[in-house]
Structure 1
Amino acid sequence: MSFKIERGLFRFEFTDHHAILGIPVDASKSEVRKRYLKIARRLHPDSNRSASEVDKEQANQLLSKLVNPAYEQLSQDKGEYLLSLKHLGKRLATEGGKLPVSGQTAKRLAQAGASLDNLYKSSVKNLASQQYESLAQALDTIGEISEFNLIYLRLKGGEKIGQPSLPQETTNQKQPTESKPTSPPAASPLEKYLRRAEGYLAKNNFASAVLELREALKLDPNSGSCHSLLGYAYLKQNQAAMARVHINKALQLNPREERALKCKKFIENMAQKNSGGKSKVAPKSEGTQPPDKSGGGLFGGIFGGKKK
C-alpha cells in the first residue's frame, strides 16, 4: 500500500503527524493519547473480525506504518519535531502568493479572519470523526486535514506550536460590570525577532542572535534597529567586515541610531590602535571585541541601565 500524500504540509516534504492522528497542531499529550487509542481500536485486527483479509491487511498497514510512528513522535519528547513545525510556520507566514489548497473547507478557513481558531478546530474534528471509517479514503482525509494545518500555521506564523490549547469561551459566562483596562497591542513578528535577538545578545549567545536578526531582515530589510543589532553581534564575533556593512546600513537609514554610532566609534578606535602611528597599541588582555559591561564603557546602556 502506497502512503504518498501530496497535500498540505506533505507538499514541503514534512510528515504531518498531527494530520495522521486527526488532531490540531496545538493538541496536548493527553489529547494525543486519547485520539491514538481510538484509532488503534478501529484499525486493530481484533476489531475487524468481519472484515475481509484485504481490509484487515490495509488497516494493519495504516496502523503500523502511519499511526504508530505518529503517536510515538507526538507522545514522547516532541521538542525537535515541534521546533521544525514552528520554523515551518514562520517560513510559511513570510511567503507570499496563493495558498496551495484545494478543498472548499480549506479555502473558507483561509478567509476566516477572527474566527480562525474556532473554525480550524471544528473542521479538524469533523474530518477526524470519519477519518478511518473508510480505509480507501484515509489518505485523502489525512491530506485534507494537513491542508487545514498548513493554513493555520501560515496565518498564525507558528505562534501556538508547543503551547497548550486554551479552553473555549462559553456564551453564558457572566460579563464583569467594570470595564477592563485596555491590553497593550500584540507585538509584530518583527518585534518578536528583535526581542529574542536582544535576549540572546544579553546572554552573549551571538550566533543565535544573528540567526534571529537574519529572519527579521526578511520581514523588513530596511529596519535600522535590526541592522545595528546585527552589526553589534558580528562585532562581538570579531567579524569586523560584516559588522561594518550592517552598521553603515543602519546609519544610512537613521544617522542618529545610537547602537550603530557606538559600534562605528569602536571600530574607528580599534583601527587607529592597530594602525600603529602615535596611538598606543591596546594591551593583549583587551582583545579585539567591544566591552560588554552594562554599567559603563563604550557600549554601556545597550542592554543594561537606563535607555535614552
Structure 2
Amino acid sequence: MKLDHGLFKFDFEDHHAVLGIPITADARAVRKRYLAIARKLHPDSLSGLSEDEAQQANELLSKWVNPAYESLSQEKLSTEHQIMLKLKGQGLKRSPAPPEISSEAAKTLLKAPQVDLAYQQAVKSLAEQQYEQLAQVLEVVGQISELNMVYLYRTSDGPAASSAPAAPPPPSSAAPPPAPGKPAPAPPPRRTQATILESYINRAQEFELNRDYSRAVLEMREALKTYPNSARCHSYLANLYLKAGQATMAKVHAKRALDLSPEDEIAQSIQAKLEKSAPGSTGGSAAKGGKPPAKGKPEDKGGGFLGGLFGGKKK
C-alpha cells in the first residue's frame, strides 16, 4: 500500500483526512479519534489478517496515522498546519470557479444550504467506515480530503482586503473643477509597493502586540506571496516565528533574509540567538555543566510512541 500527495486535494499532507476528522476538530477530538484508529491497526487487533494485510496496517499506522496525530496534537505544528489551511482556503476563494471534485459527498456539500452541519455529518459518515476495511482506506481518505477542500472554499474569508482593488469614489464625492486661472489640484498619490508592504507589516505588528503570533505570521506569509524577495519580510517573519517558539521556521527565514540582504540587522540578531541556543554551543547546556547522554544508550521512554498508550512493562 502506498500513499502519496496525489491522494490529497492540497499541496501538503491532509492530516485531518488521514484521521477522518473535520478541520475544526479540537485537541480532545483529535486524540480520541487517533486512539480509536490505533487500536484497529495495532498488531494485537490483527490476528485474523493475512501477512500482507498486517503489513499494510503497519504502514498506515507508522507512516501516516502516527505522523498525522503528532502534527495535530503538538501546538506549534498544529498552528502551522491551520495557517496553511487558511491560506489554501483564501487561494480557493480567489479562483474564478469552484474546486474540481469527483465524490458525491463533496458535490452535495458544495450546494448544501447549511454548510457547517452538512460538513460535520458528511465527515462523520465517512469516518465510521474509513478503517473498517484496509482496501477502502485510500478511497475514503481522498473523499474526506475533498470535503475539507469544499468546506474551506465555502467558509474562507477570501483574500485580505488590502489585496483587493480599491473601489472608485462615488460621483458625489468627486472634486469640483478648478476655478478659471487656478491650477488643478494634484491627483491623490498612488499606492506604491512600499506602502502596500507597510500595510501588511502594520497589521502584523498589531497582532504581535496582542501576542497573536499565528495571525501575525499569516499576514507576513501573505505579504511574501507578493514580495517573495523582500529581506524585510523574511527577517520580520523570522522574528515572529522566534517569538512563537518555532525555531526551525525562524532559522529558515533568517537565512533567506541574509541571503537577500547580508546587512539585515534583525536577521543577524535572530541567527546569533539561534546559534547561541543550539546544542553544543557556548550558551547551551554543556557549558553549564550538563552531561550529554552516553553514546549508544538512548533514553528509555517505555516502549516507544504507542507503548505509553497501550501499555508496556510495568516497573
AA partner of residue 87 (structure 1): L
Q: Deviations over 1:78-127 (max 9, x none)?
A: 121211111111111111223210011110100113x1000000000000
| Matched residue, 1:131 | 130
Q: What root-mean-square deviation, in Å, do the aligned CA atoms of Structure 1 and Structure 2 show? A: 3.5
Q: Name the structure 2 match of 1:107.
A: 107
> Which residue of structure 1 aligns with residue 89 of structure 2?
89
Distance 1:85 1:21, change over 3 A: same
Read off the aligned partner of 1:73 and give its amino acid letter: S
Q: Distance in 2 between matches of 1:5 and 1:201?
A: 35
Change in CA separation of 1:210 and 1:54 when aligned onto 2, cut-off 3 Å: closer
Aligned with 1:190 (options 152, 161, 172): 161
Distance across 1 between alignment mates of 2:217 and 2:54: 52
Q: Distance in 1 between matches of 2:3 and 2:119?
A: 25
TM-score of the aligned structures, taking structure 1 as reference length: 0.53
1:1-308 paired onto structure 2 within 5 Å: 1-4=1-4, 6-7=6-7, 10-77=8-75, 78-113=78-113, 115-157=114-156, 190=161, 199-200=203-204
1:203-222 Cα deviation digits (max 9, x unpaired)? 89999878767989xxxxxx
Distance in 1 between the 2:217 and 2:142 partners? 37
CA distance in 1, matches of 2:54, 2:152: 35
Aligned equivalents of 1:81 and 1:202: distance in 2? 22
| Distance in 1 separating the partners of 2:161 and 2:200 | 10
Q: Is 2:5–2:11's contact at 8 Å kept on the other side of the alignment? A: no
Q: How far apart in 1 are the matches of 2:143 and 2:28? A: 24
Flag the 1:208–1:32 CA change in 2: closer, same or farther, 3 A.
Answer: closer
Change over 3 Å in CA distance of 1:202–1:33 after alignment to 2 = closer
Identity of counterpart residues, as a percentage?
42
Structure number with higher relative contact order (C-alpha < 8 Å, ≥ 6 residues apart):
1
Distance change >3 Å, CA 155–CA 103, structure 1 → 2:
same
Q: 1:134 to 1:197 in 2, by over 3 A?
A: same
CA drift of 1:201 comes to 6.5
- Give me the whole-angstrom Cα distance separating, in 2, the residues matched to 1:88 and 1:41: 32
Q: Deviations over 1:166-202 (max 9, x none)?
A: xxxxxxxxxxxxxxxxxxxxxx963899997764476
Q: Where does structure 2 lack aligned partners over 5 or more consecutive residues?
A: 165-195, 210-215, 227-315
Q: What is the identity, as a one-letter code, of the residue corresponding to 1:97?
A: A
Aligned length in residues: 187
Cα 1:196–1:62, aligned 2, differ >3 Å: closer, same or farther?
A: same
Gaps of 5+ in 1: 160-187, 217-308
Cα distance, 1:47–1:102 mapped onto 2, change above 3 Å: same
TM-score where L is the length of structure 2? 0.52
Say which SS state the counterpart of residue 6 (structure 2) adopts: coil
- Corresponding letter in the other structure for 1:27: A
Residues 89 and 69 (structure 1 numbering): CA distance in 2 closer, same or farther, change over 3 Å?
A: same
Distance between the aligned counterparts of 1:31 and 1:144, measured in 2?
20
